[in-house]
Amino acid sequence: MPKDRAIIVLTAPSGAGKTTIAHRVLEERPGLSFSVSATTRDARPDETDGEDYHFLSVDEFEKRINRGDLLEYEQVYDGLYYGTLKSEIAEKSKDGGVLLDIDVKGAVNVKKAFGDDALVLFVAPPSVEELERRLTGRGTETDDAVTTRLARARMELGMQDEFDAVVVNDDLDEAVEETLSYVDRFIQS
């Protein structure tokens, strides 16, 4: 029987490919909804406010924290805030399931909050060298930002055993298939 509430989290070091996998999973499973996070970073050229993120000022983000609107939040890189809005989870988790694309510490907090109602998949890059190639190739970060993200990645890779399963994103199609099989099993469990 399908679950009453389903929270699926893709977490990974920056650049491992979780957003790419998340988009493919949402295309393949249209019943799932995406949890649109709030952030204080600037939108990238291909990003849309309200679809990829809710882009907020620091002042607005801090007001939301003080109002208790956030399920979890982190200052992930360079003091930028990223967080999951409770309002994104409340209905979507009951209505076909919700997919979160969040950092590793946030994923630990979501698992603590939701226990068996949450499936947390760690997306691992095939190697740190490939992670660096992907981050550099994406062209969205400065060289300094790539260095910061890689330093954090080394710590995050050491935490992969804390999650429900690890999907190695080497061949993208295979990683998407593996993710879908975990998602389907979880939703039906």
Ligand X SMILES: Nc1ncnc2c1ncn2[C@@H]1O[C@H](COP(=O)(O)OP(=O)(O)OP(=O)(O)O)[C@@H](O)[C@H]1O
Tell me if 10 sits within 8 A of 166, measured CB to CB: no
97 near ligand LQESDW3C (CB under 6 A): no
Give the integer Cα–Cα distance in Å for 152 and 79: 14
| Strand spans (E) along the chain | 7-11, 33-34, 37-39, 53-55, 70-75, 81-85, 98-102, 118-124, 165-168
88 near ligand LQESDW3C (CB under 6 A): no
Q: Which residues pair with 168 in a beta bridge?
A: 124
Q: Is 6 annotated as a binding residue?
A: no
Binding mask 19-58 for ligand LQESDW3C (x = CB under 6 A): ------------------x---x-----------------
Give the integer Cα–Cα distance in Å for 64 and 171: 39
Q: Of 18-26, 42-50, 105-113, 158-166, which part binds ligand X (CB under 6 A)?
A: 18-26
Binding mask 153-172 for ligand X (x = CB under 6 A): ----------------x--x
**Footprint of ligand LQESDW3C (CB under 6 A):** 14, 37, 41, 72, 74, 76, 82-84, 101-103, 106
